Each structure stands twice: as C-alpha cells, then as structure tokens.
Structure 1
Amino acid sequence: MTVAAKCPASVATFRSEHGFSITVARLRGLLADKGMTIFVDIDQADAAAQVGMTLRPTRLIVFGNPKGGTPVMQANPASGLLLPLKALVWEDEARVTWLAIEDITSALVDGYGLDASVVEPLAKARALIQMAAARDPA
C-alpha cells in the first residue's frame, strides 16, 4: 500500500485516481472553472534536471482569487506571506499521484489575528484539490 508523504496536520493530502499529467490538467481546469487565477505553475522536476539532479514528477501550482485574498491582506498585510494559495502534485515511487494543500485558515485566524469570516472563502480551495483527485461520478 502506498501512503502519502509525511506532512503537518495542517496539510490535506489526497491520493489521485488519475495519473500525474491528468491530475495536473484536472486541477488547472477546476481552478479555472472556479474563477481562480493560476499565478505560476512550477515544474520542480524540470528545475531539478536543470541542475543535473532528478526528481519524480512534481508541480507546485500557485493560485488564488483576488476577491478572496485581498480582504485578508487588507486586514493584515503580513498575511500575504501565506498567499496566494499553493497546491502540490507529485508522483511517488510507486507511480501513484498525490495532491496536497495547506489549510492556512487556522494560521490566519490564530497567528495573524484575522476574523474567521474574512478567511472563510479561502477554505473552499481544499474541496477543489480533493475534486481534482477524485474519480468522476459514473
């Protein structure tokens, strides 16, 4: 049995029902469908190859929606250290694809002193990551 990489409790990890490339495409499509902006899509395996190293397929997708993030940063500019949101897609040694996203809402409320109602829209991103991993309904 393949298991996800060890992560802190704030990181939600999902095993994808799809291969790596399809998972990345599904995630990008879902983000676009929900009006999210993909600010950058970093191919970390390619970056490793550029310095003569190897890394299994790994992509970091940085995304968000200014309608959700701007009020957070207006309330506390330092919260911009956690924004925009990030999703990681990687393939493990058994060729199983995983997705992960960090739930930053607790950190924003507890650590940055923000009202939960301001950060609540950001919590919806977790469901999008989970949807990208899921098998399509029959």
Structure 2
Amino acid sequence: MTDVAKCPASVTTFRSEHGFSNTVARLRGLLADRGMTIFVDIDQADAAAQVGMTLRPTRLIVFGNPKGGTPVMQVNPLAGLLLPLKVLVWEDDARVTWLAIDDITGVLVDGYGVEASLVEPLAKAKALIQMAAERDSG
C-alpha cells in the first residue's frame, strides 16, 4: 500500500520526508514547542504484538492545549468526544511514513453548534502536522 487508504474528506494526510521514528520525534518536538500537551502516545504496533498479531509501525498521538479545547467543551460538553485532537503516524508497505489528522472544526460547528471563532484555533493543528512531514529548509 503506497497510497493512503480510503478516508472521509475531513481527513488530511501528509507524506513524510522522514523515516517513521524521526517523523514521530519531529512531531512530538513541534507539538511541545507550540505549547501542546501530549496526553497519550499509543504504539498500536506494540499493542498488536502483545496479542500475537503484527501491524506495521503505527502510532496514535493524542494532543491538545486546554486553552483551546476547554472553551469548546464549555459550550458543548459532548465536544469532548472529539477532543483532544489526534494524529496518526504510520508506515506503509513501501516503508513510506504518513501522518493524518481529522479536521474536526466543521463537525464542531455544524454538528455540535460551537461558534466558528471558538474552533478556529483547533484548525491550526493541521499546519503543525504538515511541518512534521516536510523536509527541513536550508
């Protein structure tokens, strides 16, 4: 599988210019540098191995900043089903590393009734994910 699997239009994927471990390290560093909290980093391949199954390198990183998410959940507590944000990092069969993030801003506005101005800061996460995938300039 060298192409990204089928997913909803709200999901954006980025092909990383780095290997799997370096991509994860870059992503974690960028999130920390931007004041994001990494709430959990789930090694899904390791979880599969613990039950005798194999999965290509795959990590789900759950992250956010309570300054951005809390006002959204104050308006509608059910928004907590979508927050904090999540990014998936995985390696395909060709050993290409990918990152994916689901842009939940539209769902928060249309489905949860949260004002667009409150969810606007959450949309900036996609740029951080893209930065982790890109080659360093210079």
> TM-score band (shorter)?
over 0.9
Give CA deviations for 1:50-78 in whole Å, capped at 9, x if unaligned: 00000000000000000000000001000
Residue 129 of structure 1: aligned partner: 129
Q: Where do residues 8-47 of structure 1 align in structure 2 (5 Å cutoff)?
A: 8-47=8-47
Residue 105 of structure 2: aligned partner: 105
Instruction: Tell me if the contact between 1:4 and 1:15 (Cα under 8 Å) persists in the aligned partners.
Output: no
One-letter amino acid matched to 2:133:
A
Give CA deviations for 1:82-137 in whole Å, capped at 9, x if unaligned: 00000000000000000000000000000001100010000000000000000000
One-letter amino acid matched to 2:100:
A
Residue 76 of structure 2: aligned partner: 76
Residue 3 of structure 1: aligned partner: 3
What secondary structure, in the 3-state scheme, does the structure 2 residue paired with 1:114 have? coil
Q: Where do residues 51-90 of structure 1 align in structure 2 (5 Å cutoff)?
A: 51-90=51-90
Structure 2: distance between partners of 1:22 and 1:68: 27
In percent, how many aligned pairs have the same letter?
86
Runs of 4+ that moved beyond 6 A: none
One-letter amino acid matched to 2:103:
D
Superposition deviation, residue 3 in structure 1 = 1.7
Q: How many residues align?
A: 138
Residue 92 of structure 1: aligned partner: 92
Superposition deviation, residue 2 in structure 1 = 2.7
One-letter amino acid matched to 1:35:
G
Structure 2: distance between partners of 1:37 and 1:5: 28
RMSD: 0.9
Q: In structure 1, list runs of 5 or more residues that go unmatched.
A: none
One-letter amino acid matched to 2:41:
D
